[in-house]
Structure 1
């Protein structure tokens, strides 16, 4: 266990640019940055502040007076690490480290460190390594010798000597190729598992949401699983799946708990974790879990929807909004939220902790997944043997005759099964 004196003493800075039209309220952004830092057990946040800037200074991010002022405060607090909640260029990082005599991580670097600490599965580890290398490649700049020292964590924030840049870039590219090959093998195995599941008539329900919205708590309540639940950002990284029996004799479903989303998710991670989030792409139903008690719940919901769109989630996939953590609201606000949820379509106010509202949510999940069956007549070419086998595995074939063009099939199936078949 890490002793307090062994912890890395960190100072969190949130630069607020006046020029940024779409900026979030600075105090919320700073709170989230501090929570991100707290997600790493070896970090002890000893100070945090908002730094208001008319514009970013090209070489140093902050102005000279502010740099000197911060240096004095950090020296007094014996700070080892500065975390900047935003993008810091390699040149700015190098100059600020030199001025302050500390290590520095920007938002992307910090999130990568957290993901490195959390990854457990082979796939998760490979994806973090690839994201870290992609990030490291962008940090290869003409650096001075003060950056030659060893770094902890993933080691992607150090800088090489000038003559080493091209060699290091080549080495990173070669390593990325090797990792991509390994990841391709893992993804193929995953695809085989998905194909095997497709033969079993179990719908997939994916839990998505902003990080720390309570997805894993809800997952544990519904499945009896023991997924790590902590009041911290990115407590869940690798996807977890379990079978669940729906109430009132409803179908069995596969419930999938996914990595939490976050605003300004580094582009390296959006690309690298696409495979992890493939379960969401193939889901029959998406449950968007929101922390309704959070002051920024609307902004968080917009971030989640933007990421789902960027991942390619189809607008035709049914989605339920789950307004979680109503137990944290004052009674009057709680009543108002519950009444508002009742007026909205596909919205349910719940507490994953107490279980309040969950029976109504699960009834709706059952209703959406237990579509009425309908009859279809199709002709399947002889070459489509795999699709024909799938239809028989699903037990939807009422009658079959052979024609010159292929198999003429009469099918009695649900809209969900037809959708899956058409996408095969």
Structure 2
């Protein structure tokens, strides 16, 4: 079987790729969109390869869930959430098939309406500076859960939060035995409402003993909770969110191959967005793929009411303490690190002391006051030696190379248009 591609809304075909494609099906329930698809196909002269359809996407994909009808690639790009299409999509893909998903309901995924997030994704979103990566991981968890129902699992290739949407590229694999490992890739997240400290809590651990594999519930051990389930650092309440996909959300080799291909593309054949694509892929390649979520360094400093230093200085202090850190493509101010939160607050305390921050700036129960007042005896932890000497690895290579890493000016009329109105609706149940 040749490469069979299904696109829910529209078509975008690389003509160099056409010899490897046996069939493309472009589908949209809207008759107006359907007519545009048909005209697009005729204008591009690809009617021998590209077919068009105006069926309900879920029904259409379910008709292709049988082995000899499955697609090699499926691209879901609806208005808002793609959650209602995920289960049928993973069933309609062959082994090693590619699933591409776009979701634009960022307010839901980023925690503004936890009840809506749970209804659509069976997860609770988190209102935090890391909400855009959190959104990616919620979507990945949902896709993987849908795949697990059918003895399949996902291998994320590239996961991006950019502009007003998240975009996922994942390989769908068949294997009920390996699918069991998905339980070890899911975690809940504890988030302090005061100082915004985070703690990742896996739900299942995999035990291997003499070739025997056993899965057990994880033992709950939080580095964030203190007495009365309050935050260890600031004594404020702690929220729980998730579950999320806690495993790597990118494939390093896949990302590097994309970068290499962009580098080798002749200048006259490059897209207008070439520089942006090249920049964001390089930023993604620099991320710590084994570290979920991130902080904003300026938010940490605002908690203790001290002047915000260069991100370079904070990253140097972390690396000098023996830990790793990186940026994130989701946020230009992101601080992604495997350092414990205790180190981050030691860095904040050192900067507050350097800038002569006094306790009279704070309310009695403010998070910053609690953090600055805490002592070694009270916290029962080992403090770290803080060294702000600039470390040679503290500055990202993408920054040194002057790449276009983030889109600063989004311009006029930026963002999604209003949802198209149609007299034809999806089937709704009472």
TM-score range relative to shorter protein: under 0.3
Write 1 or 2 for the structure with the bigger share of helix. 1
**TM-score scaled by structure 1?**
0.22
**TM-score scaled by structure 2?**
0.22
Which structure would you say has the larger Rg? 1
